[in-house]
Amino acid sequence: MIAPYLGNPKKTIEVLQKYDFVFQKKFGQNFLIDTHVLEKIISAAEITKDDFVLEIGPGIGTMTQYLAYAAREVVAVEIDKALIPILEDTLQEYSNVTVLNEDILKVDIKKLADEHNNGKPIKVVANLPYYITTPIIMGLFEGEVPIESITVMVQKEVADRMQVGPGTKEYGALSLAVQYYAEPYIVANVPANCFMPRPKVGSAVIRLTRHAAPPVEVIDEKLMFRIIRASFNQRRKTLANGLNNSSELSFGKEEIQRVIKACGFPEGIRGEALTLEQFAALTNEFKSK
């Protein structure tokens, strides 16, 4: 297998010109053209020759070459059919890669893990299309997919939101969902000039390492996430009002007040002040009756 060779502006332009490739804005296409960033992603993902890796959005195959070189096997899912002949070309030397021309949001990833990794936890690595970051990540965690880690390039602001705790303006439903399932670690901030074309927003690589078991015990996971969404839907309202006004919940005012008191929270507390542990305690208290 030959060493990866695509991760620079010259080679990328050569490939794009050879195929008259036109960037599709609607697919969030910003291709990586920086070797250091590519190496950092591969090293943060800790890929070995034992690993099966799922890549989301291979583009022209720049990172796919690195993944194929480091892993046992790679499946890369690309929505843009114009990229398929390009990938056939750039990945011809890499026999351990399968490219699927599909929308990742419609792929049965559990089946991929069953077929290619005996159902064992997989590693996901991607320079994500930013317009669907949250549905991709939540789909991976909330589905039945066995996941070991997710190492991805995302919008910097989104990486921050995944990592923070209460008391910051970035803290929200995404922070709590990600932290319930995984340990987030921001690997690097990545400037716009590492991509072609340059994105208008800052980017960061984040690694999410799946918890062996959730860090809190909650009787009804789905209810906890409904409560979390209700609390952040109306950020500037009190927790009691947020829960009362939610269309996803049907607790009465008195019940809400009883639970808030039983948890030892002040009456006027806002949802944004609660930790994951406190949301779990709140949920368990609602379920206690």
Burial of residue 146, with CB atoms counted within 10 A of its CB: 0-12 exposed, 13-18 middle, 19 or more buried: middle
Q: Is the peptide bond before 85 cis (omega within 30 degrees of 0)?
A: no
Output the six-digit token pair for 228. 């979390």
- Cα 154 from Cα 156, distance rounded (Å): 6
Nearer to ligand SAM, 31 or 232 (CB): 31
Nearer to ligand SAM, 27 or 251 (CB): 27
Nearer to ligand SAM, 56 or 178 (CB): 56
SS3 182: strand
77 contributes a contact to ligand SAM by CB under 6 A: yes
53 contributes a contact to ligand SAM by CB under 6 A: no
When binding is defined by CB under 6 A, the residue of 4, 53, 54, 62 that contacts ligand SAM is 62
Nearer to ligand SAM, 26 or 289 (CB): 26
Closest residue to ligand SAM, Cβ-based?
A: 57
Nearer to ligand SAM, 77 or 282 (CB): 77
Element (H, E) at 225: helix 221-233
What DSSP state is assigned to residue 167?
T
What DSSP state is assigned to residue 84?
H
Q: Which residue has the tokens 């090293």?
A: 43
Distance of CA 255 to the CA centre of its chain: 35
Kindly indicate which of the ranges 65-73, 102-110, 166-174, 185-193 contains the residues binding ligand SAM, using the contact rule CB under 6 A.
102-110
65 contributes a contact to ligand SAM by CB under 6 A: no
Question: How many residues lie near ligand SAM (CB under 6 A)?
Answer: 23
Nearer to ligand SAM, 122 or 239 (CB): 122
When binding is defined by CB under 6 A, the residue of 88, 103, 115, 267 that contacts ligand SAM is 103
Q: Which of residues 80-99 bind ligand SAM (CB under 6 A)?
A: 80, 83
184 contributes a contact to ligand SAM by CB under 6 A: no
Q: Which of residues 9-28 bind ligand SAM (CB under 6 A)?
A: 27-28
Burial letters for 211-247: b for 16+ Cβ neighbours within 10 Å, e otherwise? eeeeebebeeeebbbbbbbbbbbbeebbbbbbbbebe
Q: Which of residues 116-155 bind ligand SAM (CB under 6 A)?
A: 127, 129, 132
Q: Are strands 182-190 and 31-32 parallel, antiparallel or unpaired?
A: unpaired
- Cα-flanking dihedrals φ and ψ of residue 189, to 5°? -90, 140
Q: Nearest to residue 81, comparing CAs of 54, 93, 99, 62?
A: 99
- Cα 114 from Cα 213, distance rounded (Å): 21
When binding is defined by CB under 6 A, the residue of 104, 137, 218, 260 that contacts ligand SAM is 104
- Least distance to ligand SAM from the beta carbon of 78, Å? 5
Cα distance between the two ends of the chain: 62
Nearer to ligand SAM, 74 or 243 (CB): 74
- Least distance to ligand SAM from the beta carbon of 38, Å? 8
List interacting residues with ligand SAM (CB under 6 A). 27-32, 56-59, 62-63, 77-80, 83, 103-105, 127, 129, 132
